[in-house]
Amino acid sequence: MSPLPLLLPLLLLLLLPLLNMEPARATLIRIPLHRVQPERRNLNLLRGWREPAEVPKLGAPSPGDKLTFVPLSNYRDVQYFGKIGLGTPPQNFTVVFDTGSSNLWVPSRRCHFFSVPCWLHHRFDPKASSSFQANGTKFAIQYGTGRVDGILSEDKLTIGGIKGASVIFGEALREPGLVFTFAHFDGILGLGFPILSVEGVRPPMDVLVEQGLLDKPVFSFYLNRDPEEPDGGELVLGGSDPAHYIPPLTFVPVTVPAYWQIHMERVKVGPGLTLCVRGCAAILDTGTSLITGPTEEIRALHAAIGGYPLLAGEVLNTEITPWHWRATEGIEQSRNLSSSLVPLLLQYIILCSEIPKLPAVSFLLGGVWFNLTAQDYVIQTTRNGVRLCLSGFQALDVPPPAGPFWILGDVFLGTYVAVFDRGDTKSGARVGLARALTRRAALGLGETAQAQFPG
């Protein structure tokens, strides 16, 4: 017998990974990842929300398939950050990659003497960069516990393997409040649409495309929430890596190109409870750790999964990370919540012994059900030797005209890889979703990718 039939299965096994790879002309830049092991879990609360003044214009992508990979570190499964460089030679910073904002800022060497967070983090020194250009325009971003303000400057950005992009960024001169003091990141790099940008600054993603350093205005997030794996995930600029997800990708059009807002058809809790009955808005936000929704619907959801309410921050002495406290007019109008009341939002506790019995919570997006099992949506942590199980859902009422809407934060995005595609003037923006492929899933130990419900 000819050995060819015996060799064909082996050849197919060797070729299958290649079939899922980007084209050969793609430039893949990978950086080793590291993960910060948690001692206890943070529960992040939320930014404020406002209605964009106008819909931004989208630039047309360049041809090609260059990809840039940026490693993400994971701090307590709620802070995902990676490294960038600013200046010549590059000065290194860790930044949160945030799809809910559009500015880049880092602490400045020229920061105010009494700005304690600035002195505890890496600071940008314009005198140490040969490519620095002064701008001097003042900027300010308001947060619930204070504000970040400073001046705009221009210099070269290094991100992944991309070098030489000339970007305008914020040098933070003041960072009032304690929340930035204990942050495990230096600054924030926004990946939202231009309309969200303070002072009309072009977002870094737009700059990379306009200067020909990135072929397509596309990026994707793989947020690794598996505590047995050392890395925190990966941000891929210019496309997505099929090794991160179980195909196919389901694409959903962006309805409001400011935040990454899409239409959600329904939400189901097991077979018995339906939420978002007439359809509703949802925002995919890497800067929000939990999944939020309108109070009445989240209350019904917790009744179905047996959640017991407690006051976050009061009972657990919860640490709050700052970028979820953004107090623009949206959150100030939302049930008159001032910054002093934000920590009193209800968090729900789950009986750990009930996790195997809890129903799936599923989201209908683009005609496809995206299922979260209890292992996905229950946050398990240990405090002083006591195991605690906390709900990954939280109530947040955002008033019109910006709201109401759901926010699909890291609890959802840790389970499903998201591909954010800015599109162009012809196709428009969209978001692609597929089940994240962890090492456990690759070995056949993962959960079912989609819930099965009648149409």
Domain residues for the domain of 219 are 28-223
- Residue 333: give its domain's CATH number: 2.40.70.10
Give 73 or 389, the one with higher predicted confidence.
Answer: 389
**223, 252, 282: which is the final residue of a domain?**
223
Is the same domain home to 336 and 270? yes
**Which pLDDT belongs to residue 346?**
67
- Residue 263 confidence (pLDDT) above 70: yes
Is the same domain home to 296 and 172? no
Helix (H, G, I), strand (E, B) or coil at 33: coil
Positions marked catalytic: 98, 285
Query: Are 380 and 388 in contact, with CB atoms under 8 Å apart?
Result: yes
Is the same domain home to 166 and 259? no
**Which pLDDT belongs to residue 311?**
61
Residue 265: pLDDT band (50, 70, 90) is very high
pLDDT tens, position by position, 326-364: 333 332 232 222 222 233 456 899 999 999 999 999 999
- Count of the separate structural domains present in the chain: 2
Prior bond of 203 cis (ω within 30°): no
**223, 255, 272: which is the final residue of a domain?**
223
**16 found inside a domain:** no
Q: How far apart are CA 239 and CA 17, in angstroms?
A: 17
**Which pLDDT belongs to residue 184?**
77
Is the same domain home to 204 and 333? no
**Which pLDDT belongs to residue 36?**
44
- Cα 169–chain centre separation: 20
Q: How far apart are CA 404 and CA 49, in angstroms?
A: 10
Is the same domain home to 313 and 365? yes
Q: How far apart are CA 256 and CA 398, in angstroms?
A: 16
**Which pLDDT belongs to residue 177?**
64
pLDDT tens, position by position, 303-325: 999 998 876 443 333 333 333 33
**Which pLDDT belongs to residue 17?**
40
Give 338 or 251, the one with higher predicted confidence.
Answer: 251
CA atoms within 13 A of residue 290's CA, in its CB half-sphere: 27
- Cα 183–chain centre separation: 16
Is the same domain home to 217 and 339? no
